[in-house]
């Protein structure tokens, strides 16, 4: 079930605030309770009774401009979503992402796993600037996390991903953002549960790239070794 966000003005905060202050989360929650909750309530009640059975695991960036349910036109119960800085899938020794992968594959038995990157990714920009090498061996939580992107940095030097019909981009950030999606798909294939289900044909892996400036989504074509634009679906005539 899908619903259209309200276009009515947000209600004023009960406490005085500067005119330029950004609305906090509670403001949005109030709008949700008024406009959206009544539309979602029957579907959420059904999901509460029956439990979730999403068909896909969707791994994407924590970037606030990325909204998985909007991009995929999906509703409650349809996506099991993992978000982190840089849409990274670390080696299997790291529990942070693979706990969710294991649950999605072995418990929820999803049929699809998608890795979705995007243009202008701050994590990829940080990698290009060498942030993962700062703060010594111990590092900080952020620099240690970014080290999981080093394989993407190495890959982009010898095998950069590209858009179909175009030469590899001259923009280092765009090249890395694209290539990072392909690298994370390879990291997923190294997970025992994913490898087993893929070999059986029970799971399909998909790489997506969302271009923010145009709101255009591209899909990775392993055969063509390039990202192809996703075309709008044409509804058949009644």
| Residues designated catalytic | 61, 63, 65, 118, 121
Residues 6+ apart with CB under 8 A from 76: 1, 40, 43, 44, 47
- CA distances 189 to 91, 180, 200, 202, Å, are 10, 14, 13, 13
Burial class (CB in 10 A: 0-12, 13-18, 19+), 87: buried
Quote the radius of gyration of the chain (alpha carbons, Å). Answer: 20
61 is in an annotated binding site: yes
Burial class (CB in 10 A: 0-12, 13-18, 19+), 123: buried
Residue found by looking up tokens 């920009």 in the block: 125
- Provide the 10 A C-beta neighbour count for residue 52: 12
Phi, psi angles (nearest 5°) of residue 57: -95, 130
DSSP state string for 188-218: HHTSHHHHHHHHTT--EEEEEEEETTTTEEE
177 is in an annotated binding site: no
**Annotated binding-site positions for Zn(2+):** 61, 63, 118, 121
**Annotated binding-site positions:** 61, 63, 118, 121
């Amino acid at each position: 079930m899908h619903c259209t966000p309200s276009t009515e003005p947000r209600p004023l905060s009960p406490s005085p605030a500067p005119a330029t202050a950004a609305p906090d989360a509670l403001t949005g929650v109030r709008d949700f309770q008024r406009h959206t909750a009544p539309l979602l309530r029957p579907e959420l009640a059904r999901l509460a009774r029956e439990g979730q059975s999403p068909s896909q695991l969707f791994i994407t960036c924590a970037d606030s401009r990325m909204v998985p349910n909007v991009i995929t036109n999906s509703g409650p119960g349809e996506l099991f979503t993992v978000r982190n800085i840089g849409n990274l899938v670390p080696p299997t020794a790291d529990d942070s992402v693979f706990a969710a992968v294991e649950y999605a594959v072995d418990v929820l038995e999803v049929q699809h796993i998608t890795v979705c990157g995007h243009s202008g990714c701050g994590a990829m920009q940080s990698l290009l600037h060498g942030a993962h090498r700062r703060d010594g061996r111990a590092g900080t939580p952020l620099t240690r996390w970014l080290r999981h992107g080093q394989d993407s940095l190495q890959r982009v030097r010898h095998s950069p991903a590209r858009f179909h019909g175009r030469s590899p981009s001259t923009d280092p950030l765009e090249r890395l953002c694209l290539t990072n999606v392909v690298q994370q798909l390879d990291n997923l294939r190294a997970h025992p549960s994913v490898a087993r289900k893929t070999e059986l044909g029970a799971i399909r892996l998909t790489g997506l790239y969302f271009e923010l400036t145009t709101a255009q989504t591209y899909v990775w074509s392993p055969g063509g070794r390039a990202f192809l634009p996703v075309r709008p679906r044409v509804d058949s005539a009644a």
